[in-house]
Amino acid sequence: MPYPAGHREEIRKKIITSARKLFNRRGFENVSLNEIMAEAGLTRGGFYSYFESKSDLYAEALACFFTDPDWKDGWEGIEIDRSGGDLGAQIVRAYLSRQHFEDVDKSCPMVALPSDVARSGDVVKRTFETVFKTMVEILERSSKNASNPSDGHRTAQAIAALCVGGMVVARSVNDRALADELRDASMAIALELGGWDKAELAKSEKAGQSTRKSRG
């Protein structure tokens, strides 16, 4: 009996979702194909019908909401309206949010996997670069602070690096209060660099204060 239309693509997405979660948790080297397929509810035998290698799958798993409009691994309570005029500010707030910080399984791969990418081959590095460049392009289009195209591009690069680097450092410290301070500081500076209005700065600062108060 033939499979229904869309079955192959559905299985492929299951494998990618499984891989992204496991890679985010444990890194590329520490996850086997058997584990990836088992997490997806499949057997290893079918893997090579969908991907040429583990590295090929890794490159697919590096996708993020910047490059994949159908990306479903969002963070609870965080919505991204890609048609919104304040898309840059939305990205900064989402990227440096408490929800993203806590949801390791659904992290953007640029936060969870940079050290693995640095040790990987050209295919994976090119994919990582594509995700980062796409983030920069979106931020550049949304920026309100650039006086000329060259300044706008450099500013967008700095904002993207601040978002990714800020979350990497926050995830790397044991002191949760310090991690929150790092996220809040990175968010405030990133919003300011992008020229997003004071209301956005106040919103992010208020959200950070509420989060800290709720934890006591």
DSSP string, 133-201: HHHHHHHHHH-S--SSHHHHHHHHHHHHHHHHHHHHHHHH-S-HHHHHHHHHHHHHHHHHHHT--HHHH
pTM: 0.78
Per-residue confidence (pLDDT) for residue 148, from 0 to 100: 63
Residue with token string 């995830």: 171
Q: Kindly list the distances between the CA atom of residue 147 and the CA atoms of 52, 123, 156, 202, in Å, as whole numbers in the listed order.
A: 46, 35, 13, 24
Structural domains in the chain plus CATH codes: 7-61 (1.10.10.60), 87-214 (1.10.357.10)
In a structure prediction context, what are the per-residue pLDDT tens digits for the chain, which is 216 residues long? 556 777 788 999 899 989 988 998 888 888 999 999 999 999 988 899 999 999 889 888 887 777 776 666 568 888 777 777 788 898 899 999 999 999 888 888 888 888 888 887 888 888 889 889 999 999 998 887 766 666 889 999 999 999 999 999 999 999 999 999 999 999 999 999 999 865 554 554 455 455 444 445
Q: Is the dihedral of CA 19, 24, 29, 34 positive or negative?
A: negative
Tokens 């700065």: give the residue: 201
Amino acid at 151: D
